[in-house]
Amino acid sequence: MRVPLNWLREYIDIQLDPEQLAERLTLLGMEVKGIEAWGADWRSVVVGELLTVVRHPRADRLSLTTVDVGAGQVLEIVCGATNIAPGQRVPVALPGAVLPGGRRIERAEKMGVVSNGMLCSGDELNLTSDVDGILILPPGTPLGTELSNLYGDTVLDIDVKPNRGDALSLVGLAREVSIVTGAPVRFPEIGLVESGQPTSELLSISVEEPGLCRRFVARWLSAVKVGPAPDVVQVRLQAAGMRPISNVVDASNYVMLELGKPTHTFDAAAVHDHRLVVRRARAGERLETLDHVQRDLAVEDLVVADAAGPLAIAGIIGGASSEVSERTTAVIIESAIFDPLAIRRTGQRYALRSEASLRFEKGQEFRLARIAADRVAGLIAEWAGASVAAGRADSAAAEPGPTQVPFRPARIDRLLGTQLGPGEQRAILARAEIATEAPNGPATIPIAGEVKPLTATAGLGEALIAVIPSWRADLEIESDVAEEVARVLGYQKIPPILPHTAMPPYLDSPLGVRDLVRQTLAGAGLTEVVTAALIAPRQVEAFRSATPAGPALPGDDPAEGRPIRAVNALSSEHAVLRQQLLAGLLQVVALNLHQGREDVAIFEIGKGYGYDEASGLIREWWRLGFALTGASQPPAWNRISRPWELDDGKGLVELIADRLGFAPPAWTRLVGEPVFHPGRSASGASEGALVGRVGELHPALRATEDLRAERIVIGEFALRGLAGGSPTVANIVPIARYPAIERDLAVVVGQDRTAGEVERTIRSAGGGLLRGVRLFDIYTGPPLGADEHSLAYRLIFQASDRTLTDAEIETTLAAIRAGLAREAGGRIRA
C-alpha cells in the first residue's frame, strides 16, 4: 500500500523522519519496501503569479502572458489554456525543467513569440487529472517557491500482510504509528448533515444471500453536481497511486484508502424502482462492466441487481449502465460486507483483482459498513454540493460488541522465552488499544481455531482476557495474543539463547552417499550440474526407456508409472516431470558446445518421477546421470589428447562402485535402446547396489538434440544409498602372509565371444585359488584368423594358508585352459 505521509499526518502527528518511521514500522511487522520522494521529478517548477494575459497576435487559441516568478523576475510565456486570468497563482515550468515522464521544457518560439517556459496543468505535473486547464493554486501560495516544496511528499510503500486487512488503510496505519510513538489517532470526523425525504422512502434494499453479504448499507444523495474533486484530494489520490475521476468516485476511493472500506456509487436514475437486491447471478445473465467488457455471469457470482438485472458484480466491479457520470444528479452509496471467499473466487474467475476486491478478500470490520457510508455521503455533500437523505438503508444494523480472547501470560512468556509477567503484557497490549481484564473465574483459553478447535482451561488468576478492538479480526487464539505482545514489545527485545533441550536420536543423512559420489566424480574431473525437473514433453518421449528399468534398489522408489504433467505450466519447455536425467544433461552439453566449449564432462544427481495409475502411487526415484564429450583430460603440451570413450564411462561407474563398497559391475551388451549407439553401449549391474546404462549417444540424436560433437558418452545409474542410508563400511581381511603368484594367459576366441564371457569362464574354472583376473591386452590381426581376437589376462593365484607350488598352479591353469576350450571354443596362445 502506498502511504503519502502528508495524508497520514491527517490522522496522527508524526515527529519521526521518514527513514526512522519506516524502520519502526518494519520492526512492528508493517514492512516498508520503499521510500519514494513523490514530486521529486518536478525540477525547476515554481509558483508564479499571472500579471497579464492577452491574445496571441497570430494564434487565436494561444495567450501571451507575463508571469512574476518571484524575486522580481518576470517571464513572457505563451499558453494554450483558457482558464487563466491575471492575479492567479500558477505552476511555472522554467526553461530546463523536467516534468514527470521525462518531458523537458526549454525556451521555445511559438508562432513568432518566444516562450520562456510553460504554465502547467495538473495532469502535466501528475497532481490532478485535469488535462485542459492550468492548475490554479490557492491565492496565498508563496511566489517563487519550488512546487515540490509545496506538493512534494514522501510516500511509503508498505507491504501489509494478508492477515491485516485493517491496515490496508491510512487510519489503520496511523494506529500502527501510534503503537510506535504513543501519539493519539484522530479518526476522521464524519460531520454529516441530513435533509429532506428519509432514505427509507427513496430506496429499498433486499439481501437474498445473507451468508455471502452479512451487511448492506445504502444512502441516498440528491442534487449532486458531478465535477472534479478538490485539488488537495486529487493530489492525495495521485500520490497514493489512484487516478482521480470525479468528486463522487473520488469520495468513494478516498474513503477506501482512508478507512480501508470499499464502497460503490450508483447513478440512482439507472436503478429501476430504486430497489437494490443482493443475490446470486442467474444462468444466462450478462453485464457490461465499467471497463466496457461484456461479461457472462456465473451462477456462483454475487451481484447487486435491480428489477431489470445485475448492476454490479458485488465487491469486484460496477456495471457501465449505472456508472456515475456528468449527467448524474442522484447517487446511491453502497457500503456492504461481502464474503471474502466468494469475492476471491469471483475475482479469480474474471481475473479482476481491484483495490476494492483486495480489501474484501481480507475481511471487513462490521461497523465500517455504516461508518464508510456516512463518510462517503459527507464528502460528496461537501465536494459536490449534494444533500444527503435522512437515515440509511441497513440490512443488519445491530453491531456486535468486541470479541474477547482469554490468554495465559505465563504461557506467552514460555512461548516467547521472555519473563514479562502479566503486568508488563497488559501494558504492552494497551499500546495496541487492546484492553485486558482479569476474569472472575476459570477461563477457557482458545488454543486452536476453526479447523481443529482446541481449548484449555485456566484456573483463577492464571488468565487474562484480551478485549479485541473491532478492527483486529486477526486476533483469535492465545498464540495470536503472544504475537501481538512480541511485536509491540519488539522482537529485538526477545533474548537470544541457544537450544538446550533434549536432542533427537541419531539418523543417517540422506545427503551422505550423494556427497560421496559428488566428491568422487568432481575429483575425477566432472562438473556437477542441476537441471530442471520439468522438461518438454518431446524430451520425455525421446528418452523414454524401451526396456524396463528393473527392480528398485532398497530404500528407493521403483522407476515406474506414466509421466506427470503440470496442468498449468507457463512454458511447454517445462511442462512434464522428467523420468530420466539424460535429456537435461544433453541440453547442458548443447549449451556449452554452443558457447564454443569442446570438452564437457558433467554429472547430476536428481530424481525421476512417475504416476502408477494402477496402484495410485506417485513414484520419485533417484539417479546419477553423466555426459562426457571432447577430451578426457585438460589439454596440455606434454600429453596426447584422448577423447572420452565408453570405457571411461564404465571406469567412472566402476570407481563409484568401488568408492561405495559395491561389487564391480558386470557389463552386458545393451540392446534395443534407441538413445544409445547399438554397438557401443552396455548395461551394468552390481546385485542390489547398482544398475544402469552407459554408452555412446546414438548418432541420430546428435541432430535432434542439436549437439555439435562427434561422440558423447552418456550414462544413468541407480545407486544404493542415493535415496538415503549409510555408505558401506569396509570389512577388512588380514593381509595375506603367503606370496601371490602371477601367470599370464592369452586366449584366442572368435570375435563373437565377449571379454565378459571369457572372464566369467576363467573365474569359474579357476576356483578358489584364482584371486585376480586382469585383462591387459586385446589383439587382432595376423597370424589370427579374420574373425578371431586374442585376449591376454594376468592371473593372480594365492592361498591364505600356504605358499602355492608350481604343480598346484599348473593344475589350476590346466583347468582354466580346459574350461576355455569347452565353454568358449578358445585355444591358448603360446
Partner 1 sequence: MDLTSLSSELHRLRDAALASVAAARSSATLELLDVEVLGKKGSLTAVLRGIGSLPPDDRPRVGAVANEVRASIEAALAERRATLRVAELADRLATEAVDVTTPGRPIGRGALHPIIETMGRIAEIFGRFGFIVHEGPEVEDDLTNFQMLNIAPDHPARDLWDTLYVDVPGHLLRTHTSPLQIRVMQAHRPPIRALLPGRVFRYEAVDASHASEFFQVEGLMVDEGTTMGDLRGLLDEFSRAMFGHDKRTRFRPGYYPFTEPSVAFDVECLVCAGSGCPACSRTGWMTILGAGMVHPVVLQHGGLDPERYQGFAFGMGVERIANLRHGVGDLRLYTENDLRFLEQFR
| Interacting positions 182-221 with partner 1 (CB under 8 A) | none
Q: Which three cell numbers stand for residue 829?
A: 596362445
Judged by CB under 8 A, the residue of 126, 364, 395, 632 near partner 1 is 632
Is 336 in contact with 213 (CB distance < 8 Å)? Answer: yes
Q: Which three cell numbers stand for residue 563?
A: 509421466
Residues 717-756: x where in contact with partner 1 by CB under 8 A, - otherwise, as a string: -------x--------------------------------
Q: Does 58 bind partner 1 (CB under 8 A)?
A: no
Q: Which is nearer to partner 1, 349 or 817 (CB)?
A: 349
CB of 459 to partner 1, least distance (A): 14
CB of 172 to partner 1, least distance (A): 15
Q: Which is nearer to partner 1, 449 or 461 (CB)?
A: 449
Q: Does 28 bind partner 1 (CB under 8 A)?
A: yes
Judged by CB under 8 A, the residue of 216, 266, 471, 609 near partner 1 is 609
CB of 815 to partner 1, least distance (A): 42
Closest C-alpha to 61, from 31, 33, 81: 81
Q: Does 523 bind partner 1 (CB under 8 A)?
A: yes
CB of 452 to partner 1, least distance (A): 5
Query: Considering CB under 8 A, how many residues would be counted as binding partner 1?
Result: 105
Q: Does 633 bind partner 1 (CB under 8 A)?
A: yes
Judged by CB under 8 A, the residue of 193, 618, 740, 814 near partner 1 is 618
Q: Which three cell numbers stand for residue 41?
A: 521529478
Q: Which is nearer to partner 1, 458 or 549 (CB)?
A: 458
CA 784-790-792 angle, to 5 degrees, is 145
Q: Does 639 bind partner 1 (CB under 8 A)?
A: yes
Terminal CA-CA length for the chain: 91
Stretch that binds partner 1, among 266-274, 512-520, 672-680, 764-772 (CB under 8 A): 512-520
Site for partner 1 in 153-172 (CB under 8 A): 161-164
Q: Does 477 bind partner 1 (CB under 8 A)?
A: yes
Taking CB atoms within 8 Å and a gap of at least 24, the contacts of 70-78 are: 70/46, 70/142, 70/143, 70/144, 70/145, 71/144, 73/144, 75/48, 75/116, 75/117, 76/113, 76/114, 76/115, 76/116, 77/115, 77/116, 77/117, 77/118, 77/119, 78/110, 78/111, 78/113, 78/115
Measured torsion, CA atoms of residues 796, 801, 802, 804, in degrees rounded to the nearest 10: -30
Judged by CB under 8 A, the residue of 566, 736, 814, 818 near partner 1 is 566
Taking CB atoms within 8 Å and a gap of at least 24, the contacts of 730-733 are: 730/661
Site for partner 1 in 306-345 (CB under 8 A): 340-341, 344-345
Q: Does 572 bind partner 1 (CB under 8 A)?
A: no
Is 330 in contact with 221 (CB distance < 8 Å)? Answer: yes
**Residue 367's Cα: distance from chain center in Å?**
34
Judged by CB under 8 A, the residue of 207, 420, 601, 652 near partner 1 is 601
> DSSP string covering 332-385, please?
EEEEEEE-HHHHHHHHHHTT---HHHHHHHT---TTHHHHHHHHHHHHHHHHH-
Q: How far apart are CA 475 and CA 498, in angstroms?
A: 30
Counting Cα atoms < 13 Å in the Cβ hemisphere of 496 gives 1
Judged by CB under 8 A, the residue of 69, 218, 317, 529 near partner 1 is 529
CB of 491 to partner 1, least distance (A): 4
Strand order across the beta sheet in which 404-407 lies: 404-407, 464-467, 435-437
CB of 417 to partner 1, least distance (A): 3
Q: Does 61 bind partner 1 (CB under 8 A)?
A: no
Q: Does 786 bind partner 1 (CB under 8 A)?
A: no
**Residue 683's Cα: distance from chain center in Å?**
42
Tell me, letter by letter, the H, E, C secondary structure of 170-197: HHHHHHHHHHHHCCCCCCCCCCCCEEEE
H-run or E-run covering 777 = strand 770-779
Stretch that binds partner 1, among 27-35, 127-135, 196-204, 764-772 (CB under 8 A): 27-35
Q: Does 674 bind partner 1 (CB under 8 A)?
A: no
Stretch that binds partner 1, among 39-47, 277-285, 460-468, 630-638 (CB under 8 A): 630-638
Q: How far apart are CA 14 and CA 174, in angstroms?
A: 9
Q: Does 27 bind partner 1 (CB under 8 A)?
A: yes
CB of 30 to partner 1, least distance (A): 8
Judged by CB under 8 A, the residue of 224, 386, 517, 526 near partner 1 is 526
Judged by CB under 8 A, the residue of 620, 645, 706, 759 near partner 1 is 620
Q: How far apart are CA 132 and CA 204, in angstroms?
A: 40
Site for partner 1 in 4-23 (CB under 8 A): 22-23
Stretch that binds partner 1, among 111-119, 208-216, 514-522, 678-686 (CB under 8 A): 514-522
Q: Which is nearer to partner 1, 328 or 592 (CB)?
A: 592
Q: Which is nearer to partner 1, 61 or 161 (CB)?
A: 161
Reading phi first (left if > 0) and then psi (alpha if -120 to 50, else beta), residue 725 is in left
Q: Which is nearer to partner 1, 205 or 714 (CB)?
A: 714
Is 94 in contact with 46 (CB distance < 8 Å)? Answer: yes
Counting Cα atoms < 13 Å in the Cβ hemisphere of 378 gives 14
Q: Does 35 bind partner 1 (CB under 8 A)?
A: yes
Q: Does 297 bind partner 1 (CB under 8 A)?
A: no
Residues 487-506: x where in contact with partner 1 by CB under 8 A, - otherwise, as a string: x---xx-xxxxxx-xxxx-x
Is 529 in contact with 593 (CB distance < 8 Å)? Answer: no
Measured torsion, CA atoms of residues 415, 418, 424, 430, in degrees rounded to the nearest 10: -50
Q: Does 564 bind partner 1 (CB under 8 A)?
A: yes
DSSP state of 722: T
**Residue indicated by cell numbers 481443529:** 452
Judged by CB under 8 A, the residue of 14, 188, 538, 611 near partner 1 is 611
Q: Does 507 bind partner 1 (CB under 8 A)?
A: yes
Residues 344-373: x where in contact with partner 1 by CB under 8 A, - otherwise, as a string: xx---------------xx-----------
Contacts of 49 by beta carbon, 8 Å cutoff, 6+ apart? 67, 68, 87, 88, 89, 90, 143
CB of 26 to partner 1, least distance (A): 6
Residues 385-424: x where in contact with partner 1 by CB under 8 A, - otherwise, as a string: -----------------------------xxxxx------
CB of 409 to partner 1, least distance (A): 15
Q: Does 640 bind partner 1 (CB under 8 A)?
A: no
Judged by CB under 8 A, the residue of 607, 677, 698, 720 near partner 1 is 607
Q: How far apart are CA 409 and CA 415, in angstroms?
A: 10
CB of 302 to partner 1, least distance (A): 14
Torsions phi, psi for 767 (to 5 deg):
65, -165
Site for partner 1 in 241-270 (CB under 8 A): none
Site for partner 1 in 431-470 (CB under 8 A): 447-449, 451-452, 454, 456
Closest C-alpha to 305, from 224, 393, 208: 208
